[in-house]
Amino acid sequence: MPALKNRSHKNAEFRPQLTGILVLIFLAVLLLWFNHANSNQAVSALIAQVRFYGEYRIGDGPWQEIEEGQHIPATSGDVTLRGNFHMLTPDGEYVGIYSGDLPIAFYTDHINLTFFEGGPKPYVMDMENPAFGDSACGAAWGAHLFPIGREDPIEILIHNPHPFGNETAIDELLSNVALWSGIDFEREILSSGSGQRSTGLFFIIVSLVLLGSALFSALLHIPNNHVIWLLGATILSAGIYLTYSAPGVSFWSEFIAVNTSVLGFSMMFYMLFIVRLITCFLKETKPIGRMTTAALGIADGLFFLLPVLTKVHFYDTWLPWIITQSAANLVLLACLIKESISTDKQKRLIHMGMALLVIAFEADSVGTAAGAWKGGFVSRYVFFVLFVIALIVVLRIIPEGINAAANARELEFQRSRLEAEKNIIEAELKESRVSIMLSQIQPHFIYNTLGTIERMCLRDPQKAFELVRNFSLYLRGNFSELDSVAPIRFEEELKHIQYYVNIEKVRFPDMNIEYDVEATEFVLPALSVQPLVENAIKHGLMRLETGGTVVIRSYETPTHFCVSVKDDGVGFDTGAPVDGKKHVGLRNIRGRLKAMVNGELILESKPGVGTKAVIMIPKEVTV
C-alpha cells in the first residue's frame, strides 16, 4: 500500500507538468503549421502581380527563354534579362503589357539591378552602393517607375557581388515582382511574414523566461543550471534568426546592413550554443568538445572583427564561417557516434537529437549552395521538434533541481548541526578528560605518594626508584591524554592501569590485583578503565578491614569487546540517591564511551558482596 500511495502521489505531481507539455506541443505544432503556410517569400495574392516574359543569358552566353518556375543561378556570373513586364490581376489573370501607371516593386537579395530602358543613361538599383548610406549589404524591397506606354524590350543587368548565400536571388526577384501600391503593398508584404515573425517573437519570449529561470536556478544553486542557460541562449538566437529572416524585414527595420549583421550573428551564436550544448552531453570525448567550442568561438570572433577592420562585407564572411562550422560539426558528430556506441538507450536518443541539429545545418548549407532552398529551411523544422523536447527537459530539470537544492540545503543544515554537535561533544570530551585527569591527581594522592617515596628512600632505595618511575609514567599518561581526541588501543590503557596499581600496592601491600586478559585488539577512550580500577580500590577495598581483590578482565563476545573490573569490596546500593560530585567520573566515562566508540558502561553492585563495572564496545568501531 505505501508503494501504491507513493506512485499515485508521483502521478498526481506529474499531471500538471504533462498538461503543460501537451499545451506547449500544441502551440509548437500550430506555429509550425502557421509558419509553413506563410513562409514563402512570394507576395500576397491581394497585390496586383507582374510577370517578366522574355529571355536571359549568363555572362556572354547564349540567350535562353525564361520559363515559369525555372531556376536561374545567381552565383555563376552576371545575368541579363531581356523582355517586358506584363500585368496580372491578383487572381492571376493576364491583363497586358505593363503601362507604367505605378512603380514596379523588386525584391533584391544582395544583388543590384541596372535597367536599360532606352534613355540617355541606365538606372541603377544597387543596395550595396555607398550612395545608399549605411543601409547597404542586405535584402530589401526597391521600386522603379518605367516610362508610360513603353512596349520595347527592357534589359536588366543583374550583378551579384557575393560568391555564396544567395543562389536563388534571381528566382526570388522574378517570383516577387508586383505593383508598388504604397502602404498597402508594405502591409501585405509584412502580412506574408507575420507567421514567421510571430514564431520568432514567441521563441524570444520563451528564451527570456528560460534565462530568467536560469538566473533563479543559479541563485538556488540548482544542478545542471548551465544547461538551462544554454537552452535559453540557443532559443533566443533561433528566435532572432526567425524574426529577421521573415519577409518584409526591411519595412519594419530600415537599417538593412544592421539587419544582415543581426541575421548573421544570430546564426553564428545559434550554432556556437548548439556546439556548447552538445559538449555538455559528452563524457569520454568532452575535452575534444571543449577544444572544438573554444576554437569555434575564436573563429567567430575573427569573422565579427573582419568587416569592422577591413572593407570586407559581413555577408562575405558567411562562406568561410560555414566551412569552419562544418569542420566543427564533423568533429562533434564523430564524438557523438563514438559515445553512442558505448552508452545506454536514453543517452543515445539525446545524442541522436544533438546530431540532428548539426546534420540539419549541413543540409541547409548544401541546399543553399545548390539553390534548392534558401536559409535554414531544414534547421527550422528540426529546431521546432527539439524545441518542444528542450522545454520538456527544462520542465523536468527545474523541479528536480529545486528539490535537489532543497535537499542540499537540508543536508547542509544537518551537516552544520552535526558539526555544532561535534564541537560540543569534543568540548565535553576535553572537559571530561581534564576532569578525569584532575580526579586522578588529587593533592592528597600526590602527597601520599610522595610521602611513601620519601620513606622508601631511607628503607629501600630500589623500591623507591621503582615507585618514582611508576609515578612519573602515571603522571605522563594523564597529562598526555589532555591533547588526545582519538581512542587508544587497550594495551596502552592496560599499561596505565598497571602504573597506578603498582603505586597503590606499595601503600597497601595486602591488596590483591588479578589480570585476566583474553582480548586486546580493540580501542577505547583513554582513561576509561583506570578510573574504574581506582574506584574499586578506593571505594571498595579500602573500606575493608584487610585485603580484598580486584579482577581486571578483557574478553570478546560475537558482537562486542568487553572489559570488566570486579572487586569483592563493601559494595553499594544502586537504588540509593546518586551523589553528583561523587559520580562525575562515571558520567564522564559513559559520555566518552558513547561519543567516541558507541560503547556503554554497565554497573552492578550489592552491599557486602562487591561491585562489577563492565565496558562494552561494538566490534564494528574497532581498528
pLDDT digits (tens, 9 = 90+) for 252-296: 887 888 888 888 899 999 999 999 989 988 888 999 999 999 999
Strands 549-556 and 600-606: what pairing? unpaired
Query: Which range scores top for mean pLDDT: 2-16, 253-267, 423-437, 475-489?
Result: 253-267
Strands 488-489 and 523-524: antiparallel
The Cα–Cα gap between 618 and 623 comes to 11
pLDDT at 240: 92
Strand partners, 486: none
What is the pLDDT, as a whole number, of residue 294?
95
The pLDDT confidence band at residue 34, using thresholds 50, 70 and 90, is very low
Average confidence (pLDDT) over 132-154: 74
Q: Which residue has the higher pLDDT, 267 or 452?
A: 267
Triad 489, 493, 494: Cα angle to 5°: 110
| 462-to-354, 467, 468, 469 alpha-carbon distances in Å | 89, 9, 10, 11
Q: Which residue has the higher pLDDT, 321 or 465?
A: 321
pLDDT of residue 45: 42
- Among the listed residues 551, 564, 559, 532, the one whose alpha carbon sits nearest the alpha carbon of residue 617: 559
Q: Where are the domains of the chain?
A: 2-40+195-408, 49-191, 428-621
Handedness of CA 258, 262, 264, 269 (dihedral sign): positive
The neighbouring-strand residues paired with 563 are 554, 615
**Mean local confidence (pLDDT), 178-187:** 82
Of 557 and 217, more confident: 557
Q: 428-621: which CATH number, 3.40.50.740, 3.30.565.10, 2.30.110.10, 3.40.50.10860?
A: 3.30.565.10
CATH number of 49-191: 2.60.120
Comparing 257 with 204, which gets the higher pLDDT? Answer: 204
| Helix and strand numbers, DSSP H then E, in the chain | 16, 17
The pLDDT value given to residue 325: 93
pLDDT at 574 over 60: yes
Class of domain 2-40+195-408: mainly alpha
Name the pLDDT band for 618 (thresholds 50, 70, 90): very high
pLDDT reported for residue 117:
78
Most trustworthy range by pLDDT among 25-34, 469-478, 484-493 = 484-493
* Residues pairing with 57 in the sheet: 80
Task: Assess whether pLDDT exceeds 80 at residue 8.
Answer: no
Which range in 100-104, 439-443, 604-608 is most confidently predicted, on average pLDDT?
604-608
